[in-house]
Structure formats: C-alpha cells, structure tokens
C-alpha cells in the first residue's frame, strides 16, 4: 500500500512538472512576450514539414480545412474572380475564411493562417463593395491624403469579409501605355508614385515613430496587410509587353523603378510581391542580388517577400517544365512565401528534398518562416484568429461611396474646353430642352470599372455590381424638365433631326487585365470613333474617354468641343456629372503623357524626343457654379 502511495505522489509530481513544461511550451502564445521571443520560441518547436507549410499560399478552390491542417498551410488566397458563391455576402466570405482558420488552429502548434485577395481599387472581387478609381485615375488627383483615406476604406471593406491581406498597392512606374497593367500604375513619374505610397498607412495604419525602419506594422483588426508590387521594374518592359524584360542599367532602375519601394518600406509595408518580369534577362523570381542583397540586406526590409501567382512556375519556359529547379531558384533568391495555388504538394516534396540534400540550407527556410511569423504576430492574428462579424456593416457603406465619388471628380482631367478659350463649353447647362447621351460606356458599370472588377478580366453590364452609371448620374443632375435621350449608337441623321442642345459621348476601352490588355495600337475600339464623328460632327459635344491609359485621339480633337479623360472611375459615376455640370471644379492633371501617335512610344516626360499631344501634368481647370443654367 505504501508503495502505491509513493507511486501516486511521484505521478502527481511528474504531472505538475509536465504542467510547468506545458506552460513554458505556450510561451509563443503569450502576447506579453516580445514578438522576437515569440518567433524564436515557435520556430524552435517547428518541424521542417511545418515550416514549409508556412511558406505556402494556396488557392481556395484547391483548399479545405482538412487540407490546411494536413499540410500546415500558412495562407489561403483568392485568385482573380475566385469567390465562395455568386454574389456572396460578407457573411458567406467570413464563414469560408473561418472554416480554413479552424483547420490551421487544429494543427499541433495551432499557427493561424491569413487569407489574401486582390483588392486593388477597393474590395473589387466582392459583390456590393465600393469600387474606387483605378490607380491611374488616383494619380491624376495629385492627392496623397485622399489615397490614404481610400486605403483605410478599402481595409475596412476587406476586413468586412474576414480577409486580412490585400495585394496592393501596385507601385509600378508605367513607362509605356501599351502595357496591359498601365492603369494599375499611378504615373510615369517616380516622384508621383512615391507620393501615392501614402495608401500603405491607409491600409495598414500609421507606423509609430519609434519603430525601426523596415519593420512591418499593422495597426489592428480594422487594418490589413499591404503588398508593395511588383518588385521591381514591371512597368519598364520592352514595348510594354507584360511579364517581359526590362532592359535598363542599374542607375536607371534605382532612379525610376525603385524609389517607391524606399517609401513603402519606411511606411512599414508588411510584404513585397515579386514581379513576373525580368531585369536585363534575369527573371526577378530568381534575382538573389535584388531580393536578398538589396531589398533585405541593403534596405533592411523585415517583412516577407511573396511570389506572384504561380510566379516560380514561370521561371522556366514553358512554365512548370522544371519545377524542382524553379523551387530551388525562387527559395534561394530570397522569396519567403509562395503563391502556389494547386501544385503545393509538389512544392512540399521538392523543397523537402532540396533541404534534406543540402541544396538549400535550413537557415534560408528559417529566415522565410521567421519573417512570415513575425508579420502574423504583429498583425495580432494569434490573439484574434477569427473574423469579426461586427465589421460586416462596412461593406459598400455610403461614406465609402461618397469617398469614391470625391476621388472620381478629382481624377477627371479636362483636356479641351471649347473651340477657343474665350468660349468654353463646360460647365454644361443643367437646364436645356433636350440632350443626347451616346456611346458604349455611358450605361455600363462593368466598362467604367475596368479589369480586376468582380472577375479578373472585368465584365460588361450592370448586374454584378452596385453603383451609378454615368448615364444615371447625368439624369440625376440635369433639370427635371430637361429631356435626356440615350442612344448607344446613333447615326448622324438621328442626331441632326433631333435638334439636341448638346451631346455627351462616352466611349473607350473594354475591360482587360494583365497581358490581355497589352495593345500595340491603342486606338479607341469601334464604334467609338464613329460615335464621335456622328455626334460631334452635328452638334456641340463633350467626349468622355473611359480608359486605362491615353488612347489615339488626335484625329478627332478638332471636331470635339470638350474632351475629358475619365480613366476607369469605378462604381460611383456621379463624380463625373459633378464636374461636367459645375457642382465641382475640374482639378485633375495628367499622371502620364498623352501621345500623338503610338510611333512615339515609349515617350515620357524628360525624354529628348518629347512631343506630346498633351504633356504630363496638363489639365484645364473650371470654376464651380451654383444652380441651374439655361442653354
């Protein structure tokens, strides 16, 4: 009996000691500890398998809670247009994200995952979200404080769906408008792009003054991780061909394409996304010198570096033809997290082999995992892993729509106003007997939002989005007695026979994204030119160009009375009417040079052959007026 009692006492003591060990084991979960000590503690307990899992970001279509648990996945994502259900509610998004999170938390160490999405002009994949102007339009505003407010609004709407990571901002410096991503660039001017990095504290929060340079900062559950992209030189490829080669010396790379990264890092950006493109023939996804040598070691960036979507697959041609080589090259270059939507098991197997055979040192794996975990601890996801349903109310709220409307009117650039300065056409009279609205883009929300809206390549029509078309905005603004006639494709005889006081023609590009937008001729798509001739050849007219870049317009400028570059304004078309009718002044300035002919391209401000139709920074002004006007 005594022996049994001694055994019981020994077992009790052992249990107590084990409890102490358990308490020590949970050190990384203690928010009172420093982030560095939490990271150290957690990394010391991780297996190679768990570390490699943290380095993966997989697509939601190929993911499940069980799969996240089985492979210790660090992050899940939506590719362009990837949604849990058609017109999914914020709650549906949250339930999906939380389900993946349950899988992550049920692993041995319970490391939470985060979810990433392209929120590049508002939360643009989500039904009922506010869609802001694309970056080229925001560049025309010259208003970094406005862009910061847009970042804050976007962060709230992203968090409203339970998502913690936005692949924004694109800080490319577009040097050739033939590039299909030019609208994702704020400007051809590096200084203007630098100024617009103010969106980062909008998305993430204002970095405290005492935080060392290069350290990521996320200010809580109403903010999101941002991603400065695409590192580096993506806007300088030959002939503007997407994912192609940027041929430029190091000094010019540093002078044109790198400056906005300095600002982004100093503002605490959490992640940097690598470009598909090459620099002088070297794929950026393999560029150890620029990723590890310059970004991490020289600029002291302490966040994590993420690949682009299937970025390492595209190291080889054809893509994915030597995946083991691509994994080794990408990891060795210094990429920490890999957007590997569906080949994640192959990635795990290849990287495990490469580490075990000492082709990749464990120190490189630990560097990647430490950076990812550091960001996770900073963002507070260990303490608050699940989405907050109370934020659902922020999706598409009126306050954000008013902000988008403000951005639209500040982004409008007036290129011509009247056949002479002494006889301006704008502001238009609100009171007129009968006016004509024409053109393919006048009543099409999808067209006015452009690519990266609901679907990757954008869409046509008014059914997939909440917002105000330009036609609706015009009807909302004119005098109730003014008859507004809308005809998408009127012929000249129709215009002539109706005696319109004036016509408004809204034409431009159809939506596109990435390489699908590469365009070597940059003409206004048919029937746009015909509409300009049919309307402006008969009556006083305003032409509004909806586009992601300057287009060939010189042949028509003479017959146009007033010309407006409206870019891709997004969901709040009322902002266009605000300036047309003088409720607000035109103040926008060209964020990029408007060429005469594509034969001049590439042509940017400062070039020796600079001979534009409208120069960089050009934009006529008007004065706001009150009340209604008579024609």
Would residue 350 show up in a list of annotated catalytic residues for this protein? no
Q: At what angle do helices 398-411 and 144-159 cross, to 10 degrees?
A: 150
| Cis status of the peptide bond prior to 629, with omega within 30 of 0 | no
Residue of 176, 188, 242, 514 marked catalytic: 514
Q: What CA–CA distance (Å, rounded) separates 451 from 453?
A: 5
Would residue 189 show up in a list of annotated catalytic residues for this protein? no
Count other C-beta atoms under 10 Å from residue 219's C-beta.
Answer: 18
Tokens of 339: 């957007």
Residue 428's closest CA among 488, 470, 474? 474
**Torsions phi, psi of 346, nearest 5?**
-65, -40
Count other C-beta atoms under 10 Å from residue 71's C-beta.
Answer: 21
Burial of 351 by CB count in 10 Å (0-12 exposed, 13-18 middle, 19+ buried)?
Answer: buried
Rg (alpha carbons) of the chain, rounded to whole number: 27
Could you give the residue ranges of the DSSP H alpha helices within 450-570? 470-477, 492-498, 528-536, 554-557
Are the C-beta atoms of residues 527 and 506 closer than 8 Å to each other? no
Can you give the three-state secondary structure of 232-291, one letter per residue? Answer: CCHHHCHHHCCCCEECCCHHHHHHHHCHHHHHHHHCCCCEEEECCCEECCEEHHHCHHHH
Residue of 308, 406, 443, 509 marked catalytic: 308
Are the C-beta atoms of residues 38 and 377 closer than 8 Å to each other? yes
Round to the nearest angstrom and report the end-to-end CA distance of the chain.
Answer: 110
CA distances from 521 to 348, 559, 593 (A): 44, 22, 16
| Active-site annotation, residues | 308, 514
């Amino acid at each position: 009996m005594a022996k049994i009692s001694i055994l019981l006492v020994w077992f009790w003591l052992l249990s107590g000691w084990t409890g102490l060990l358990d308490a020590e084991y949970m050190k990384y979960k203690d928010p009172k500890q420093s982030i560095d000590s939490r990271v150290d503690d957690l990394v010391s307990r991780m297996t190679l398998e768990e570390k490699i899992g943290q380095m993966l970001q997989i697509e939601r279509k190929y993911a499940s809670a069980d799969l996240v648990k089985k492979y210790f996945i660090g992050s899940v994502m939506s590719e362009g247009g990837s949604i849990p259900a058609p017109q999914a509610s914020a709650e549906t998004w949250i339930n999906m994200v939380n389900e993946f999170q349950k899988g992550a938390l049920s692993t041995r160490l319970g490391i939470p995952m985060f979810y990433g999405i392209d929120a590049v002009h508002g939360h643009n994949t989500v039904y009922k979200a506010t869609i802001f102007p694309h970056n080229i339009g925001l560049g025309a505003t010259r208003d970094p404080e406005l862009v910061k407010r847009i970042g804050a609004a976007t962060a709230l709407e992203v968090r409203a769906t339970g998502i913690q990571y936005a692949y924004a901002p694109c800080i490319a410096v577009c040097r050739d408008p033939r590039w299909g991503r030019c609208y994702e660039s704020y400007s051809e001017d590096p200084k203007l792009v630098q100024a617009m990095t103010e969106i980062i504290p909008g998305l993430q929060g204002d970095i405290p003054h005492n935080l060392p340079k290069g350290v990521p900062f996320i200010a809580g559950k109403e903010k999101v991780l941002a991603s400065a992209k695409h590192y580096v030189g993506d806007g300088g490829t030959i002939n503007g061909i997407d994912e192609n080669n940027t041929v430029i010396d190091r000094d010019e790379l540093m002078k044109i394409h790198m400056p906005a990264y300095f600002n982004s890092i100093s503002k605490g950006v959490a992640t940097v996304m690598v470009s598909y493109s090459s620099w002088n023939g070297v794929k950026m996804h393999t560029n150890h010198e620029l990723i590890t040598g310059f970004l991490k070691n020289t600029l002291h960036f302490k966040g994590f570096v993420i690949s682009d979507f299937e970025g390492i697959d595209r190291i080889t041609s054809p893509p994915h033809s030597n995946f083991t080589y691509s994994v080794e090259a990408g990891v060795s270059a210094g990429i920490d997290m890999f957007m590997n939507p569906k080949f994640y098991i192959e990635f795990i197997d290849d990287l495990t082999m490469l580490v075990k055979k000492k082709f990749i040192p464990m120190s490189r794996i630990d560097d990647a995992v430490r950076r990812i975990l550091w960001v996770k601890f900073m963002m507070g996801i260990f303490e608050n892993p699940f989405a907050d349903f109370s934020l659902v109310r922020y999706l598409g709220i009126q306050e954000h729509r008013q902000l988008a409307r403000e951005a639209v009117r500040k982004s409008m650039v007036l290129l011509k106003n009247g056949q002479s300065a002494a006889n301006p056409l704008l502001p238009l009279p609100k009171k007129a007997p009968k006016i004509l609205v024409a053109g393919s883009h006048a009543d099409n929300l999808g067209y006015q939002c452009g690519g990266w809206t609901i679907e990757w390549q954008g869409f046509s029509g008014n059914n997939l989005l909440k917002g105000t078309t330009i036609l609706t905005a015009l009807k909302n603004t004119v005098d109730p007695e003014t008859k507004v006639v809308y005809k998408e494709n009127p012929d000249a005889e129709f215009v002539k026979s109706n005696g319109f006081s004036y016509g408004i023609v809204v034409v431009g590009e159809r939506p596109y994204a990435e390489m699908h937008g590469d365009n070597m001729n940059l003409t206004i798509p048919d029937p746009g030119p015909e509409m300009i001739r049919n309307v402006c050849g008969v009556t006083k007219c305003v032409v509004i160009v909806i586009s992601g870049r300057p287009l060939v317009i010189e042949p028509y400028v003479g017959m146009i009375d007033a010309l407006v570059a409206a870019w891709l304004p997004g969901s709040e078309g009322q902002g266009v009417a605000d300036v047309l009718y003088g409720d607000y002044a035109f103040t926008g300035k060209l964020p990029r040079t408007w060429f005469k002919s594509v034969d001049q391209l590439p042509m940017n401000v400062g070039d020796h052959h600079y001979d534009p139709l409208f120069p960089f920074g050009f934009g006529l002004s008007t004065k706001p007026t009150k009340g209604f006007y008579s024609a």
